[in-house]
Homo-oligomer: A and B are copies of this chain.
Amino acid sequence: MDFSPSPRAADLTARVAAFIAEEVTPVEAEYHAELARRRADRSGPSPWEPQPVLEELKAKARAQGLWNLFLPKEHAGEYAARFGTDGGEGLTNVDYAPIAELTGRSAIAPLVLNCNAPDTGNMEVLLRYGTQAQRDEWLDPLLDGRIRSAFTMTEPGVASSDATNMAATAVVDGDEVVINGRKWWSTGVGHPDCRIFVFMGLTDPDADRHHRHSMVLVPRDTPGVRIERLLSTMGIQDEPLGHGEVSFTDVRVPVTNILSGPGEAFGIAQGRLGPGRVHHCMRLIGLAELALELACRRGLEREAFGKPLANLGGNRERIADARIAINSARLLVLDAAWKLDVGGPLNALSEVSQIKVAVPTMAQQVIDMAMQLHGGGGLSDDHPLAAAWTSARALRLADGPDEVHRGVVARLELGQYGARR
């Protein structure tokens, strides 16, 4: 149980920290202020139009070799060297975890380092399951930061927590696959650079439970693809990425666009989700750390009833509880990352579900505490807390609701004592 990063990872982590401190943090307040102005002023530029500073920062990050650091050691291959990952090879989950935590403190750092979801997961899928032609067409520009992608899985009409409910179809018709259905919470579709969707749908209802669905590459411009609307999460739209509701009506793409062959979607999803959940959780830990830092600073700066807020009532206890909760959660994620590194997704089924339950809940509570210490301001967009809270809350549902992950943990626990399911 060794959670120490490699020397190279430790160096990269330090450089990411410095980059964020020197390049990202100084511009972040103005970035958000501009976003707020664009939201409020309906006659000026749209908040959906990416601000130029993002491209400037991407160029700087890439120039420093802080680019595509998410690339997994196991699968990075030549791509690490070709697309800027310093040292020419990928990182393990344990190595990447502290980097993900750092980027999680900033709303724009993941974009700037080309390490944001869902692109990371989609790139990993292409890396592992894409043909050379698919990789040339889509992976290269994604790794290059020229285009973005979306993952369309969840559906508005069914309880998507049970993936077998999925109603959208991907039917093979000769050398084409015909796609119909409606997806939502497709993150990133609001961005003008979003060019490619990874779509998941039902191909063979008669196959066994885990071989019914296919994952298909669907270029956004394909006829029949329509972005119906952009959803808000507790009123927040996450411009310029956004979360879209997308309809697919008789969309036709070549059958070769099916990743890893018809019926293979579950296998792909399995491999995609483990590391992806570690990344999400580590970013949330970064957010929770930021919230705790803001709570401490606010608690010392503001006074009421003749004392700094931190010294009133139970505030110190809440700060202590937040520290304990964050440290516990980080260790749990590192342990899951380590188990993934050591034995792959099947070695860490329970652990990955454990962090998926524990971390968003922890982050939600810590951020709620920090909001409370900030008074009304904590609820507004003057501080990053309201947006942070929303991220944490959404992650209690995204990638599987807490209840489903608790079910996985319990099944594996009871399985030790003979329970079949």
Contacts and interface: CB of A to CB of B under 8 A. Distances in A.
A288 interface: no
Nearest to A406: B320
A393 B410 contact: no
A168 B339 CA distance: 50
Nearest to A229: B40
Contacts of A296: 413-414, 416-417
A362 B309 CA distance: 25
A200 to B, nearest CB: 15
Interface string A108-126: 0000000000000000000
Contacts of A318: 314
Q: Most chain-B CB neighbours within 10 Å: which of A46, A234, A297?
A: A234
A interface: dominant SS: helix
Given A159-B303, A304-B161, A379 B394 contact: yes
Nearest to A334: B1
Contacts of A375: 154, 159-161, 397, 401
Interface in A157-184: 158-162, 165, 184
A280 to B, nearest CB: 15
A396 B372 contact: yes
A300 B417 contact: yes
Contact of A417 (B46, B297, B376, B411): B297
A347 interface: no
Size range of the chain A interface in the assembly: 35 or more
A417 B323 CA distance: 14
A376 B397 contact: yes
Q: Most chain-B CB neighbours within 10 Å: which of A353, A408, A413?
A: A413
A413 B320 contact: yes
Interface string A345-366: 0000011011001100000000
B327 A354 contact: yes
Given A2-B3, A406-B313, A406-B320, A380 B332 contact: no
B390 A314 contact: no
Interface in A259-318: 292-293, 296-297, 299-300, 302-305, 308-310, 312-318
Q: Most chain-B CB neighbours within 10 Å: which of A233, A305, A332, A379?
A: A379
A320 B410 contact: yes
Contacts of A230: 40
A414 to B, nearest CB: 5
B316 A406 contact: yes
Nearest to A42: B42
Contact of A414 (B236, B300, B409, B418): B300
A247 to B, nearest CB: 16
A27 interface: no
Q: Most chain-B CB neighbours within 10 Å: which of A231, A308, A323?
A: A323
A381 B313 contact: no
Given A324-B409, A419-B310, A302 B235 contact: no
21 contacts: A40-B229, A156-B377, A158-B302, A159-B375, A165-B303, A165-B304, A185-B376, A235-B386, A296-B413, A299-B414, A310-B410, A313-B313, A313-B407, A317-B410, A319-B414, A324-B358, A327-B335, A328-B358, A331-B331, A372-B396, A375-B401
